[in-house]
């Protein structure tokens, strides 16, 4: 993990995710890129695909803060910003820029926020091909990646998230695999099917993990996952991101539900 990108805007929570991203860059000796991307509140500027004076002033302030923080941390940093703040441009270009990083750090979109498109984070997760670490819009996080929970259902997305999180897992003090599969799926009783064990797979990589199982169906399972994270004192959850409609919940997919209700940082990959 040598190239980290952090999404920046001029929200109050921007400083929280920047500090978290700087901590990760220090831990892994990585370069940190700050990407300023937000919707232009000056509508004529957005329509004309030109940055308004307001947007330029906002990104100038954020850039100064980013460069000062990077210099104080003694890490390698660079600055990127989008050319304007039209919503579609912010959505597409943030996703494009994310593909040039090993890890993308973003903030959970606040309800009724006008700073970014409402589906920005989910769009980046589902379309960038890169792991995205999402930081909740409330709370403080003294540590990240010391006590990790893995939401595991043996899907392609979960396997991708697990692989992308290995650098973090390797440095964790505790790792718990929370199985979201049904009991009948875990047993795999057919003799022609090889025995598979995610705990064993992690052990081969030098990662000691404990196994846990969550029962329940659909939205209840997502709520149980969030509750179990509190019980474990987890400071990071790793999970695969499913496209809307893959898991039928009250509102969209399990991915959407977690992104709306998360209370600890979540690393998602698709």
* DSSP codes, 10-29: SSTTHHHHHHHHHHHHHHHT
What mean pLDDT is reported for the chain? 90
DSSP letters of 196-264? --HHHHHHHTT---EEEE----HHHHHHHHHHHHHHHT-SEEEEEPPPTTSS--SSS-HHHHHHHH--S
Distance of alpha carbon 63 from alpha carbon 33, whole angstroms: 11
Distances (CA, A) of 253 to 6, 239, 248: 25, 13, 6
Structure confidence at residue 182 (pLDDT): 54
Q: How do residues 29-68 score in pLDDT, each as one tens digit?
A: 999 999 999 999 888 877 889 999 999 999 999 999 999 9
Distance of alpha carbon 90 from alpha carbon 7, whole angstroms: 11
Q: Which segment of 9-13, 160-164, 236-240, 252-256 scores lowest on mean pLDDT?
A: 252-256
Strand order in the sheet with 132-135: 77-81, 31-36, 3-8, 103-107, 132-135, 266-269, 236-240, 147-152, 174-179, 210-213
Q: Which segment of 59-63, 163-167, 188-192 scores lowest on mean pLDDT?
A: 188-192
* Better-predicted residue by pLDDT, 166 or 183: 166
Distance of alpha carbon 48 from alpha carbon 237, whole angstroms: 41
- Structural domains in the chain, sorted by start: 3-135 (3.40.50.620), 147-269 (3.40.50.620)
Q: How do residues 83-124 score in pLDDT, each as one tens digit?
A: 999 999 999 999 999 999 999 999 999 888 899 999 999 999
Q: Which of 51, 125, 57, 54 is nearest to 89 (CA)?
A: 51
Q: What is the mean pLDDT of residues 153-166?
A: 95
* Better-predicted residue by pLDDT, 120 or 255: 120
Structure confidence at residue 53 (pLDDT): 95
Question: Above 50 in pLDDT, residue 249?
Answer: no
Question: Above 60 in pLDDT, residue 266?
Answer: yes
Q: Which of 42, 48, 59, 47 is nearest to 7 (CA)?
A: 59
Question: Above 60 in pLDDT, residue 205?
Answer: yes
Residue 83, CA atoms < 13 Å, CB-side half-sphere: 8
* Better-predicted residue by pLDDT, 66 or 195: 66
| End-to-end Cα separation, the chain, in angstroms | 18
Residue 203, φ and ψ in degrees, nearest 5: -60, -35
For the chain, give the number of residues.
270
Tokens of 4: 């980290």
Q: How confident is the model at residue 247 (pLDDT cuts 50, 70, 90)?
A: very low
- Answer whether 22's CB lies under 8 Å from 69's CB: yes
């Amino acid at each position: 993990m040598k190239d980290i990108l952090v999404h920046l805007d001029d929200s109050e929570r921007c400083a929280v995710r920047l500090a978290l991203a700087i901590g990760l860059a220090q831990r892994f000796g990585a370069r940190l890129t700050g990407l300023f991307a937000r919707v232009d509140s000056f509508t004529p500027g957005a329509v004309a695909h030109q940055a308004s004076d307001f947007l330029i002033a906002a990104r100038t302030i954020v850039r100064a803060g980013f460069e000062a923080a990077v210099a104080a941390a003694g890490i390698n940093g660079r600055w990127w910003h989008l050319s304007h703040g039209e919503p579609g441009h912010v959505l597409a270009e943030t996703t494009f820029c994310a593909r040039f990083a090993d890890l993308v750090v973003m903030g959970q979109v606040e309800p009724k926020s006008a700073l970014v498109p409402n589906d920005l984070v989910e769009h980046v997760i589902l379309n960038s091909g890169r792991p995205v670490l999402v930081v909740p819009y409330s709370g403080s996080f003294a540590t990240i990646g010391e006590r990790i929970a893995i939401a595991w259902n043996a899907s392609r997305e979960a396997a991708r998230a697990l692989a992308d999180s290995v650098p973090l897992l390797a440095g964790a003090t505790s790792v718990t695999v929370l199985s979201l599969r049904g009991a009948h799926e875990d047993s795999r009783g057919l003799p022609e099917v090889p025995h598979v064990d995610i705990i064993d797979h992690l052990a081969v990589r030098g990662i000691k993990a404990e196994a846990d199982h969550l029962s329940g169906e659909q939205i209840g399972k997502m709520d149980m996952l969030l509750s179990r994270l509190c019980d474990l004192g987890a400071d990071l959850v790793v999970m695969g991101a499913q496209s809307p409609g893959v898991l039928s919940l009250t509102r969209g997919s399990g991915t959407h539900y977690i992104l709306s209700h998360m209370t600890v940082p979540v690393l998602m990959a698709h």
